[in-house]
């Protein structure tokens, strides 16, 4: 699949970066909500570096997420995830796509609250399942009933995701539309600097 064309820099990108200060835009949500794809495009739109926490974890561990889950277990994976996200937040501003379970950790949530603006990419279970079933690299969904597992994960995680600073619905529209919705929401939510 060819890479999508680059997204044009927003005319107010510099103003957005000023309003963010050192804070990062942190995308949270379920696997399949579009955090990585939308995050990459949002970074282009705002002229910010993009970091995918899962890719950073894989690079640091020199193994894939499924391999990490298999060899180290979920608890060790989550410890590494927490460290990587903390490091990424210290070098903001940037756009960060977190793993689906990262926001469940209270320390990670607190750090994101302190150093970033969290945005929950909210999607219904049908949309999520349609997206995740195309990929085989989702360790928590490698079982006999992945849709049921996804439904249960969503039910368990939604109250915590709802603690994000902002919420955007990620549905079956082009990702560019979701990016523009995020830009509009950030514009109305970020404090404006006095002239």
pLDDT in tens, 85-124: 999 999 889 999 999 999 999 999 999 999 999 999 999 9
Closest CA to 112 of 183, 39, 161: 161
pLDDT at 137 over 70: no
Q: What is the residue extent of each domain of the chain? A: 13-187
Give the distance, in angstroms, between the CA of residue 74 and the centroid of all CA atoms in the same chain.
19
Report the alpha-carbon distance of residue 182 to residue 184 in Å, rounded.
5
Handedness of CA 44, 46, 48, 51 (dihedral sign): negative
The Cβ-side half-sphere exposure at 50, using a 13 Å CA radius, reads 18
* Domain covering 13-187, topology: Rossmann fold (3.40.50)
Predicted confidence at residue 76, as pLDDT, reads 87
pLDDT band at 141 (very low <50, low <70, confident <90, very high): low
User: Cα dist. 95→5, 32, 92 in Å?
Assistant: 19, 18, 8
State mean pLDDT over 8-16.
77
């Amino acid at each position: 699949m060819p890479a999508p064309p680059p997204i044009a820099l927003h005319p107010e990108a510099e103003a957005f970066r000023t309003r963010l200060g050192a804070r990062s835009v942190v995308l949270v949500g379920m696997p399949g909500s579009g955090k990585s794809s939308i995050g990459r495009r949002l970074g282009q739109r705002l002229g910010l570096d993009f970091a995918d926490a899962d890719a950073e974890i894989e690079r640091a561990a020199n193994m894939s997420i499924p391999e990490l889950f298999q060899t180290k277990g979920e608890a060790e994976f989550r410890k590494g995830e927490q460290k990587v996200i903390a490091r990424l937040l210290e070098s903001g501003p940037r756009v960060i796509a977190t793993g689906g379970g990262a926001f469940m950790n209270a320390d990670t949530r607190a750090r994101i609250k302190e150093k970033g603006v969290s945005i929950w990419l909210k999607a219904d279970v049908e949309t999520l399942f349609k997206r995740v079933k195309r990929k085989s690299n989702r360790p928590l969904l490698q079982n006999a009933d992945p849709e049921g597992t996804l439904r249960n994960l969503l039910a368990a995680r939604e109250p915590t995701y709802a603690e994000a600073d902002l919420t955007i619905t990620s549905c079956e529209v082009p990702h560019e539309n979701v990016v523009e919705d995020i830009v509009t929401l950030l514009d109305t939510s970020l404090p404006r600097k006095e002239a």
